[in-house]
């Protein structure tokens, strides 16, 4: 029995392989996570990744009628690049938030280094909007 006709790459999965989990409920804005295949059942009906159980078609088992399960997706170079950018955006958002919260404690030298960068980005964004 084939694990997945919709996602043929699932048929070649082995324990220890790296996969991506497409998550729908992550508030940080990061929609992909890397995972390692822990276990594949003998009849290839279940796949365990990072301790979480997925069906052979890549859909996560969920509990409850309103639960949204995540999906296993192939870790393509494009998805890995997208994930890297999502992580960078998230890190930038946290760094900017921390700077804003601590804005009165920036030294004059730090402020002088930051302002040209911020102003350049603001100018670029204004041009994009026109």
Q: Do 1 and 28 share a domain, yes or no?
A: yes
- Phi and psi at residue 40, to the nearest 5°: -130, 125
Distances (CA, A) of 109 to 39, 69, 97, 98: 53, 48, 19, 17
Residues 41 and 105 in one domain: no
Alpha carbons 38 and 86: distance in angstroms, whole number: 26
Same domain, 61 and 88: no
Are residues 37 and 80 both part of a single domain?
Answer: no
Same domain, 4 and 67: yes
Please state the pTM of the whole predicted model: 0.68
Distance (Å, rounded) from C-alpha 48 to C-alpha 55? 9
Are 102 and 116 within one domain? yes
Residue 91 and residue 67 in one domain:
no
pLDDT tens, residue by residue, 60-118: 988 777 667 789 999 999 999 998 998 898 888 888 888 877 667 788 888 889 889 98
pLDDT score of 123 more than 90 = yes
Structural domain span for residue 88: 76-130
């Amino acid at each position: 029995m084939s694990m997945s006709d919709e996602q043929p790459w699932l048929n070649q999965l082995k324990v220890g392989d790296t996969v991506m989990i497409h998550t729908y409920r992550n508030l940080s804005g990061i929609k992909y996570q890397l995972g390692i295949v822990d276990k594949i059942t003998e009849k290839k009906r279940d796949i365990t990744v990072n301790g979480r159980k997925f069906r052979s078609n890549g859909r996560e088992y969920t509990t409850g009628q309103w639960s949204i399960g995540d999906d296993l997706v192939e870790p393509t170079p494009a998805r890995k690049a997208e994930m890297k950018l999502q992580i960078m955006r998230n890190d930038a958002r946290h760094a900017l938030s921390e700077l804003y919260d601590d804005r009165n404690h920036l030294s004059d030298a730090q402020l002088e280094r930051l302002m040209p960068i911020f102003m350049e980005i603001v100018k670029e964004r204004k041009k994009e909007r026109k």
